[in-house]
Amino acid sequence: MSLPLSIPQSQSPSWILKLTIGLIGMFAFLQVYAIQALLPVLMVDFSATEVQAGMVVGATVMAIAIMSPFLGMLSDAIGRKSFIVGALLFLAVPTALIAQSPSIGWLGLWRFMQGLSVPGITVVTIAYIGEEFEGRAVAELMSFYVSGSVFGGFMGRFLLGHLHEFIGWRNGYYVMATMTLIGALWVSKMLPSSRCFEANPNFRSAIQTLGEHLTNRYVVTACLLGGCVLFSLVGCFTFINLHLAETPYELSTGQLANIFAVYLIGVLITPLTTSLLRKFGAARIVRVAVVVSTLGVLLTLVTPLWGVIAGLIIMSSGVFITQSATISYIAVNVKKGRSLASGLYYMAYYAGGTMGAWVCGIAYAKGEWPLTVWLLLFVQVLALLVASFGMVKRKVVAG
């Protein structure tokens, strides 16, 4: 099966390509946060502290941050599709090994190994889209990629939380590994090979491009914003589980998994971001989205469960819109070394997530959910300042 390598702005990408790009996003994030719904159970099984539980989540995020720029440079030298398929195959291995974890330390190690492969999917897919398509097709495919990643984030938590209640979390991870292998086979068959890719195996050239990116306003602003965004998302959705597992809520693993259905709102909202970007531009959209996210975080302080859930819906919706706008901002404005630019973005993005898992764990241990919320609000204000003063105020999608 072959698909057009460059789509005119007036023509939409084929449905099979949209589906495949969405599935890549889904399988990339199916494992990253799946463990969040299990944290109360794992803390009991392994006698772990709040900080240890947070760092089990952060282990995968840390590995993604470390590997993102390096896999970006390697992909610029080798190629795109083979990298994506290989990374999916590799991801299935530590996913299966998690089921054998004898301690919280081994669990963290296998989680770290999962994260090593994720940039080979995420970073390279963004570069692939930017190279093979143009104009509105880029923004449209990016929105499907982000929607897929949001759906994967939900499915991982939802499936593993419910699988634990039926077959135990260890067997649940074998199921997740099998799903990832199926995803690799689908992508190998359905994703068109690159036609616009030009290999750049020159390491000196890659270092020069890296230096240019580190002084590129588009890249630096996106990196700072991305770090703030994932700090908030990881911190919020990791420790809200501990909050809701305690009195007065006392939710079970399956009930906590259901809470992550709020992610499905992001699947619906993200495709709408494309038209908003064309009309208002990334800078305005991001500022509004960050404010919306901040209001959502504040709402989680209320006591009724429905109010907490409403806060999570509002908070996550703002985050998803911010993420979609930011990666489109990079894809459109950065023309040279796209994979490396995406790698730097994801390094900052996931470094922020690692910090969120760690620092919010400390905050939760000291002041439980209220102190965690105030920390999240501080980071949201930083994101608003970055968006207000750093982003170039022009539209990112060609009309």
Query: Residue 48 belongs to what domain range?
Result: 15-190+201-390
How far is it, in rounded angstroms, from Cα 16 to Cα 19? 5
Q: Which of 28-32, 49-53, 268-272, 324-328 has the lowest mean pLDDT?
A: 268-272
For residue range 60-82, list pLDDT tens digits in order: 989 988 988 787 677 776 778 88
For residue range 74-103, list pLDDT tens digits in order: 777 677 888 899 999 999 999 999 999 999
Question: What total number of domains does the chain contain?
Answer: 1
In a domain, 344, yes or no: yes
Q: For the chain, what is the total number of helices (H) and then of strands (E)?
A: 16, 0
In a domain, 4, yes or no: no
In a domain, 72, yes or no: yes
Mean pLDDT value across residues 100-125? 93
Tell me the pLDDT band of 312, cut-offs 50, 70 and 90. Answer: very high
Q: At residue 308, does pLDDT exceed 70?
A: yes
Q: For residue 301, give the amino acid letter.
A: L
Provide the pLDDT for residue 393: 55
Q: What is the DSSP string of 331-348?
A: HHH--SSHHHHHHHHHHH
Tell me the pLDDT band of 206, cut-offs 50, 70 and 90. Answer: low
In a domain, 321, yes or no: yes
In a domain, 395, yes or no: no
Cis peptide before 119 (omega within 30 of 0): no
In a domain, 7, yes or no: no
The CATH number of the domain holding residue 320 is: 1.20.1250.20
Tell me the pLDDT band of 116, cut-offs 50, 70 and 90. Answer: very high
**Of 210 and 30, more confident:** 30
Q: At residue 104, does pLDDT exceed 70?
A: yes
Residues of the chain with pLDDT > 90, as a percent, come to 49
- What's the angle, vertex CA 169, arms to CA 165 and CA 174, rounded to 5? 120
* CB atoms near residue 128 (< 10 Å): 28
Q: At residue 7, does pLDDT exceed 70?
A: no
Provide the pLDDT for residue 6: 42
For residue range 264-303, list pLDDT tens digits in order: 876 677 677 777 777 777 778 889 999 999 999 999 999 9
In a domain, 314, yes or no: yes
In a domain, 274, yes or no: yes
- 183 CB-near residues (< 8 Å, 6+ apart): 23, 24, 26, 27, 30, 88
Tell me the pLDDT band of 399, cut-offs 50, 70 and 90. Answer: very low
- 177 CB-near residues (< 8 Å, 6+ apart): 92, 93, 95, 96
Q: What is the mean pLDDT of the chain?
A: 86
For residue range 29-46, list pLDDT tens digits in order: 999 989 988 999 999 999
For residue range 339-353, list pLDDT tens digits in order: 678 778 878 988 999
Provide the pLDDT for residue 395: 46
User: Could you tell me which of 39, 65, 247 has the C-alpha nearest to residue 157?
Assistant: 39
For residue range 126-176, list pLDDT tens digits in order: 888 878 887 778 878 888 888 888 889 889 999 999 999 999 999 999 999
- 330 CB-near residues (< 8 Å, 6+ apart): 126, 218, 219, 222, 338, 341, 342, 345
Provide the pLDDT for residue 111: 96
**Residue 139 · residue 327 · CB < 8 Å:** no
